[in-house]
Amino acid sequence: MRIIRVQNPVGIDYMKEHFISNIESDFLAEGLKAELLTDRENILILQAWNEDKLIGFIIAQNVVQQNHIFLYQAWVPNDTELADKLFFRLLLWADYLGKKEVRMETLRSEDAYSRRWKFEKHSVIMKFVLPDNYEAEYVKTIRLLKDKKDIPTTEMSLEMEKENE
Residue 141 to residue 135: CA distance in whole angstroms? 10
Residue 18 to residue 35: CA distance in whole angstroms? 19
Please choose, from the candidates 51, 53, 55, the residue with its C-alpha nearest in 3D space to the C-alpha of residue 79: 55
pLDDT, one tens digit per residue, over 24-48 is 888 888 888 998 999 999 999 999 9
- In this structure, CATH architecture of domain 2-117: 3-Layer(aba) Sandwich (3.40)
Given this model, what pLDDT does residue 56 score? 93
Span 12-35, average pLDDT: 84
Whether the predicted pLDDT of 9 surpasses 60: yes
How buried is 12 (Cβ within 10 angstroms: 0-12 exposed, 13-18 middle, 19+ buried)?
A: buried
pLDDT, one tens digit per residue, over 70-100 is 888 888 888 788 888 998 898 899 999 998 8
Please choose, from the candidates 121, 48, 35, the residue with its C-alpha nearest in 3D space to the C-alpha of residue 82: 48
Span 101-108, average pLDDT: 70
The residue ranges of every structural domain in the chain are: 2-117, 134-164
pTM as predicted:
0.66
Residue 33 to residue 77: CA distance in whole angstroms? 24
